[in-house]
């Protein structure tokens, strides 16, 4: 059986149907047996959903015990009623579990601006907190309960050794449209039994998010509800990691980034209406920050996305998008390659267009996985971004989203 978050020591969960979404699970509850360190990042959209405000406040001390997530309603732009509902979600969970309200993080996803179905959600919490378990099916229920327009559940699991102790890490995520994280609708939650000091976990989460979730895009819109949270309850038994120089920190940091990257790429592969998964590599830059900025600029370009959809080797759009990134580079030095995972063709060498077989290129660009590689030839740093194409199906889907 495939392992999931229920295989992480000290975590129980349940995913249920509360009545908000028609015939689908729409309420997820995850609880740690003990107080857990928590690191979290939240949307930088100026318009922020009520649960974002509540969770950011509750996560400020770096500790938490539980998470409750509802799907089907974003609880964004819902005024005082929405804020009261988010507070009541936390309070109701706390009452049912015998915890403090501040021990609970809250997340919501779905339509923006719709009245929040408070009583349905609260009754769902009361009923389903009694059902939490570490049975494997519960992990699957939770992964499905946080979805909206997603076409499949997004899960991941890792197990690794840390100073002689077995460490487990499970993750779930949701996202298909309104994907252009800047944290930090996209949600990502990871649960691990490693022991790590809260402030160090927060720093590590932010670093891992910057290299993973913040390097994906589907449509260029940062949601009102974007949130990534990592719970670490120490049940693995390792000596608590308190400093970056401590044994095991480097391994944990690498594994956390690996998990986030896995979940982030699943989100892109499920982009609304998309037909292609595109990887953008920027290599040999002076700084990693510069490489990331260029990669995100290229992957975010609507013209580049439409070219990928149309199998059009219009590399001028890629160079143009790089030039709009707001960071200087000498385009007369750069090489540019287009192709698929196995074969890439140089279309630009030291800023000079190269001759190539356009029919062969179009065959390569017909693949579902495309690669774009920009070599700046100015340093040793690199970054990778991931994005989807922009299709007619995406336009049609989102033109009738609420109707």
78, 148, 185, 224: which one is catalytic?
185
**Radius of gyration of the chain from its Cα atoms, rounded to whole angstroms:** 22
Structure tokens at 385: 């971004």
Q: In the annotation, is 204 catalytic?
A: no
Are the C-beta atoms of residues 18 and 122 closer than 8 Å to each other?
no
Residues near 27 by Cβ (< 8 Å), separated by ≥ 6?
Answer: 15, 16, 17, 18, 20, 68, 69, 70, 71, 121, 124, 125, 128, 145
Residue with tokens 């998309």: 274
Three-class secondary structure of residue 354 per DSSP = coil
What's the CA gap between 68 and 129, in Å, rounded? 10
Task: Give the closest residue to 273 by CA, choosing from 95, 93, 151, 90.
Answer: 151
What's the CA gap between 264 and 347, in Å, rounded? 29
DSSP for 1-32 reads: ----GGGSTTEEEEEE--SSSTTS--EEEEEE
* Max Cα–Cα distance, the chain, nearest Å: 69
What's the CA gap between 76 and 22, in Å, rounded? 20
Are the C-beta atoms of residues 120 and 19 closer than 8 Å to each other?
yes
> Among all residues, which ones are annotated catalytic?
185
């Amino acid at each position: 059986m495939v392992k999931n978050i229920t295989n992480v020591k000290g975590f129980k969960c349940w995913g249920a149907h509360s009545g908000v979404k028609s015939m689908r699970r729409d309420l997820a509850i995850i609880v740690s047996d003990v107080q857990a360190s928590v690191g979290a990042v939240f949307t930088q959209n100026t318009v922020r959903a009520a649960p974002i405000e509540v969770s950011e406040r509750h996560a400020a001390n770096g500790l938490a015990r539980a998470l409750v997530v509802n799907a089907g309603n974003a609880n964004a732009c819902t005024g005082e009623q929405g804020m009261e509902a988010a507070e009541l979600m936390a309070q109701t969970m706390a009452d049912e579990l015998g915890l403090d309200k501040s021990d609970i993080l809250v997340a919501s996803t779905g339509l923006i601006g719709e009245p929040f179905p408070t009583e349905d959600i609260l009754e769902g919490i009361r009923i389903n907190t009694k059902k939490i378990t570490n049975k494997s099916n519960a992990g699957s229920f939770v992964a499905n309960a946080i979805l909206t327009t997603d076409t499949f559940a997004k899960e991941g699991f890792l197990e690794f050794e840390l100073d002689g102790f077995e460490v487990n890490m499970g993750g779930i995520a949701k996202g298909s449209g309104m994907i252009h994280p800047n944290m930090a609708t996209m949600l990502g939650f990871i649960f691990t039994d490693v022991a790590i000091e809260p402030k160090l976990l927060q720093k590590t989460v932010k670093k891992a998010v910057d290299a993973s979730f913040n390097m994906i895009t589907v449509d260029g819109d940062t949601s009102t509800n974007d949130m990534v949270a990592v719970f670490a309850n120490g049940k693995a038994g390792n000596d608590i990691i308190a400093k970056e120089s401590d044994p095991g920190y480097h391994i944990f940091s690498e594994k956390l980034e690996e998990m986030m990257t896995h979940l982030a790429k699943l989100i892109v592969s499920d982009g609304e209406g998309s037909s292609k998964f595109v990887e953008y590599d920027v290599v040999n830059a002076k700084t990693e920050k510069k490489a990331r900025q260029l990669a995100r600029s290229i992957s975010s370009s609507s013209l580049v996305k439409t070219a990928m959809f149309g199998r059009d080797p219009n590399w001028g759009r890629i160079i143009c998008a790089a030039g709009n990134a707001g960071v200087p580079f000498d385009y007369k030095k750069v090489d540019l390659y287009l192709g698929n995972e196995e074969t890439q063709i140089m279309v630009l060498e030291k800023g000079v267009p190269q001759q190539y077989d356009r029919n062969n290129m179009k065959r390569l660009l017909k693949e579902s996985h495309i690669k774009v590689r920009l070599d700046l030839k100015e340093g040793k740093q690199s970054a990778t971004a991931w994005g989807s194409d922009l299709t007619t199906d995406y336009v049609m889907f989102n033109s009738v989203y609420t109707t």
